[in-house]
Amino acid sequence: MKKEHISYFIIGIIALLLFIPGLGWAALFDWDEINFAECAREMLVSGDYGSVQIAYEPFWEKPPLFIWMQAVSMHLFGVNEFAARFPNAVCGMVTLLVLFRLGKRLYDARFGWFWVIAYACSVLPHFYFKSGIIDPWFNLFIFLGIYQFILYTNEVNVNSPSAWMRNKIVLSALFISLAVLTKGPVALLIFGLCFLVFRWRIKRPIISWKHFYLYAGVVCLVPGIWFLSLLLTGRGYLIWEFIAYQIRLLTTEDATHGGSFFYHWIILLFGCFPAAPLFIQGIRGQHPDTPFEGHVRKWMLYLFLVVLILFSLVQTKIVHYSSLCYFPLTYIAAYTAWHIWHERLVWKRLTSILTGITAVPLVLGFILIPLIDRWKGQLVPMGFKLDAFALGCLEANGNWHGFEWLIGLLFGGGVAYALWRLVRGRVREGVMVLAGSSLLSIVLALFFIVPKIGLYSQDAAIRFWKSKAGQDVYVSTLEYKSYAHYFYAETQDGIPENSLFQQWKKENYKTYYNPKAAMSENEIQFQQQWILKGTIDKPAFFAVHNKRSKEIMQFFPELHYIGIENGFVFLKRDANAHK
């Protein structure tokens, strides 16, 4: 086996060991993880793979590619947390292999390893590969599309054969089209903005009209096939709902996901520890790059700034919106580390200071979270304003073993030792200790700390819904949004065909129809109101936060209290309540 192949083999094995164990240890988290997993489960139950659905109604917010991946995984491993997260574990392995390959081609094998280490040892980039959200594959497709275009626009290759140039255009467009089919047209928006920034900077044409039309055709081809299938099956309205949702997401603030302009700046600074301080050092100053190396570095900075500024301007603020920045951020961090390793740059005091500052909240979090059962009773006396639901959630027992806080101590000790070695001029040793301690702490936290967080936030409700799985009942939440009852109660389709529901809907259509809502949103609202107020043929079970439970039970006297646990109140409505 060639030395290069050995490196690929080692990286693949490391990735599998990092990202696959423990995938199913924690319940899926509302909303995104359970949302996408439920869409995949409903594909399996309904046999309808042509469109995405939730509550067996069309779900226009996301295209189907990632949901297809999850559906295949569930077909192989069953409907469970492991299967929902497995596609991203595969993405983690593919991503690290891609980073090594690209790094090796750009510089050498050591640079490839530095890039792999910078990505895998950073907190949020590592964490996302053990999640069930869309973004890891979405980001990878966009990055590969942009990288192929970087090669196309490289001034060294101006005189390259036309077939080579055409191949780069096709590959770039193909990856961007896959990104569109994964999450939506924001992929094309990001690519387009990077294109415009680069064109503005160099002040000359960078693509022929022939290649532009080829690019546009390939980009439209893959998602176009899906759109065409919707049109042919009479669901063309979903296309417009999908486009309208994407625009609304960019221009309006979600009621629960607002934030300041610098929200993503802070997330990247602390969430990408320990790569972020190296990135900050690397973006300053000039380095002895070849023209091609300088070309790549410029594109990486353009990509980083476009994503950061775009999602800083977008009104809705969610952590993973800026996760595409992980690629250019870790590239510049690896670039800095590679130059420091070869003694072309020096580790700066500012980098040490930033490393220490960004490590503090992470270390404190790893130490304090496992101690929550010991100090949660002191939060209110200390002045923390907690509502009834938050206090109820804190009543849960985290079942801590008692040693978990040592992970934070290990993390802090590793960072302190690394900084000490760096200050004493042992830069290579310090960098490796910093990366190693970070990776070890992340892995231990994912095994022993993260699964316990769900015990406080949602475990009581999930166990309740699991107890209803396989039963012939209706389930719903009241006054709060969740997808957990669909997934964990294993809901089946059938309400739209129920004659009792049809009659109630006909009689109450004007009362509950919302002209501003989409068709499927109205349908889900009709179904929820029916099982809450209409004549039903089997029992209905509800979950509500404790701060609203008394008010709801007074307003709906047919709801019977059946239990309360950790901030969740569980209610029941008997069958045929109106007869």
Q: Give per-residue pLDDT as tens, 243-300.
A: 777 676 666 665 456 678 889 999 999 999 999 999 999 987 656 678 888 899 999 9
Report pLDDT for 129: 96
Report pLDDT for 159: 60
Percent of the chain scoring above 90 in pLDDT? 59
Report pLDDT for 511: 86
Sign of CA dihedral 370, 371, 373, 378: negative
Report residue 223 as tokens: 């998602």
pLDDT in tens, 342-397: 888 888 999 999 999 999 999 999 999 999 888 877 765 665 677 888 888 888 88
Partners of residue 571 on adjacent β-strands: 542, 561
pLDDT bucket at 156, cuts 50 / 70 / 90: very low
Report pLDDT for 249: 65
Sign of CA dihedral 538, 39, 246, 218: negative
421 closest CA partner among 347, 357, 336, 333: 347
Partners of residue 33 on adjacent β-strands: none
According to the per-residue pLDDT averaged within each range, which of 301-315, 364-378, 512-526 is highest?
A: 301-315
- The shares of helix, strand and coil residues in the chain, as percent rounded to the nearest 5, are 70, 5, 25
Average pLDDT over residues 431-444: 94
As a whole number of angstroms, the distance between CA 351 and CA 278 comes to 7
Quick check: 100 pLDDT over 80?
Answer: yes
Angle between helices 326-341 and 427-448 (to 10 degrees): 150
pLDDT in tens, 311-346: 998 877 788 899 999 999 999 999 999 999 888 888
Determine which of 136-140, 200-204, 514-518 has the lowest per-residue pLDDT on average. Answer: 514-518
Report pLDDT for 387: 82
- This prediction's pTM: 0.93
Report pLDDT for 158: 53
Mean pLDDT of the residues in the chain: 89
Report pLDDT for 125: 94
> 149-155: long-range contacts (C-beta < 8 A, 24 or more apart)?
149/191, 149/195, 150/295, 150/296, 150/299, 152/207, 153/198, 153/206, 153/207, 153/295, 153/299, 154/292, 154/295, 155/291, 155/295
Q: How far is CA 75 from CA 45, 463, 544, in A?
A: 11, 24, 33
As a whole number of angstroms, the distance between CA 392 and CA 382 comes to 17
Report pLDDT for 37: 96
What are residue 575's phi and psi, to 5 degrees?
-65, 150
Average pLDDT over residues 299-308: 95
Average pLDDT over residues 187-197: 94
pLDDT bucket at 514, cuts 50 / 70 / 90: confident
pLDDT in tens, 32-86: 899 999 999 999 999 988 889 999 988 878 899 999 999 999 999 999 999 999 9
Report residue 70 as tokens: 């999850």
Report pLDDT for 317: 78
248 closest CA partner among 162, 315, 322: 315
Contact 80, 24 (CB under 8 A): yes
Report pLDDT for 287: 65
Quick check: 169 pLDDT over 90?
Answer: yes
Percent of the chain scoring above 70 in pLDDT? 93
